[in-house]
Amino acid sequence: MLLVVGLIVAFVLIAVFSNRGTRACRWREYPKAEGSVWTCVNCGATTRGPVGKAPRICFRDKGQT
């Protein structure tokens, strides 16, 4: 019983603290010399950023940067 309650609490915490802005985004990194080009395979948005750090916001409705 305690295990079931723990799992329910874990799922609720994940739902509350997950980043809803990029939930559907699946970023792919293409490293370059001056940084990385990140492309979302879900919506096709493209942006630049530091190597190894995916964007924390979705660019789907904001256009490409």
Print pLDDT tens along the chain (65 aa).
899 999 999 988 887 776 665 566 788 999 887 889 998 888 888 888 888 888 877 776 665 44
Average pLDDT over the chain reads 81
- From CA 20, how far away is CA 18, in angstroms rounded? 6
User: What local confidence, expressed as pLDDT, does residue 6 receive?
Assistant: 94
Largest CA distance in the chain: 53
Give the Å distances, CA to CA, from 64 to 11, 15, 22, 46, 59: 33, 28, 15, 6, 7
Question: Would the CA dihedral through 52, 50, 38, 15 be positive or negative?
Answer: positive
